[in-house]
Amino acid sequence: MGRKTGFIISKIAELLATLLVVSLLTFVAFSVIPGDTAQVILGPDASQAQLDALRAELGLDKPLIVQYLNWLGGLFTFNLGKSAAFGVPVASLIAERLPVTIGMSIIALIFVIVISYPLSVLSARRPGRALDQVFSVAGHILFAIPPFVLSLLSIIAASALFSGFRAGQYFRPEDNFPGFIGCLLLPSFCIALPKIAMTFKYMRSSIIEQNASEYVKNAKGHGLTDFRILIKHVLPNSNVSAITVISIVLSDILAGSLIVEQVFNLPGMGRLLLSGIARRDFPLLSGMVFYIAFITVLLYFAADVLGSIADPRIRLK
């Protein structure tokens, strides 16, 4: 077995072990919280016989270990049971809201990459000069402002500049895909701005470090142009840092989108999560928490694998 295959297998084992621990902690957390799912579904006027019958139907009368194993099996078959508050399968609720959250996250990531990469290259070419200082100060300001504050400011600004702007306007992707993308652009940009500042900071530092290395000096001594050195050597050697930072940024984007969705009144995972908390919908909450954790762990797994491809030395550690 080669080092590359062994490295990937070890990372898959870590991924599965992490998900198993996350599933156990999630189940235990929602099991010890006071509340009765059957009571939430049937309401306060339900009789004891009705409650007992529903608990038996939902499997809530079984030992916790049996409940956990049944719930764990449902996670991997996407059969998460029925929502206590909405009365429909949890999987269908998540699938319905997921396009908004995933769409915002992808658009925000595109903003981060497209903007932060060129800015970091421009800033790192002349560190300490006026342009570098302007970018750095702007980055510190944006990094300090929470996305929900940027969302409120952007809504005020857009409403003042564009009379037709309406916060909370939403189009379903199957009905109007361009409209769906359009209604996600502004909230995605609000999510992306602090992450652009974060990515810019790390990429700038990485490029400056690479520019000061011996191999760059040797390449200049052999007559290579700055542009060729940047494209052929500096940026590829900065990719490991970029992959790590972007994986962290993307997980932050997912978390930030849950809040920004509320500000823009978009029907994504954030609104569904808060609705489940308000209604004490434990089947919905446990399923959502696990799958959000699953996406986050999967991102770090992908970052580890891509990082090992970009820099084979990682597989030797």
Q: What is the CB neighbour count within 10 angstroms for residue 168?
A: 11
Q: Residue 91 to residues 83, 257, 285, 287: CA-CA distances in angstroms?
A: 9, 20, 11, 8
| CATH T-level topology, domain 106-275 | MetI-like fold (1.10.3720)
3-state helix, strand, coil in the chain (%, to 5): 80, 0, 20
d(CA 245, CA 126): 23
| Domain residue ranges in the chain | 106-275
Structure tokens at 126: 């002349």
Smallest Cα–Cα separation from 268: which of 107, 76, 154, 105? 105
Unique residue bearing structure tokens 């001594």: 221
What is the reported pTM?
0.79
Per-residue pLDDT of the chain (317 residues; tens, 9 = 90+): 566 677 778 878 888 888 888 888 888 877 776 666 676 666 677 777 877 787 777 667 778 888 888 888 877 777 777 787 787 888 888 888 888 888 888 898 899 889 988 888 888 887 878 888 888 888 888 888 888 788 888 888 888 887 767 777 788 888 888 888 888 888 889 888 888 888 888 888 888 888 777 877 787 777 777 778 777 777 777 777 777 787 778 777 877 777 888 888 888 888 888 888 777 777 888 888 887 888 888 877 877 777 676 655 554 45
The answer to whether 142 and 197 are in contact (CB under 8 A) is yes
Q: Which run of H or of E encompasses 97?
A: helix 90-125
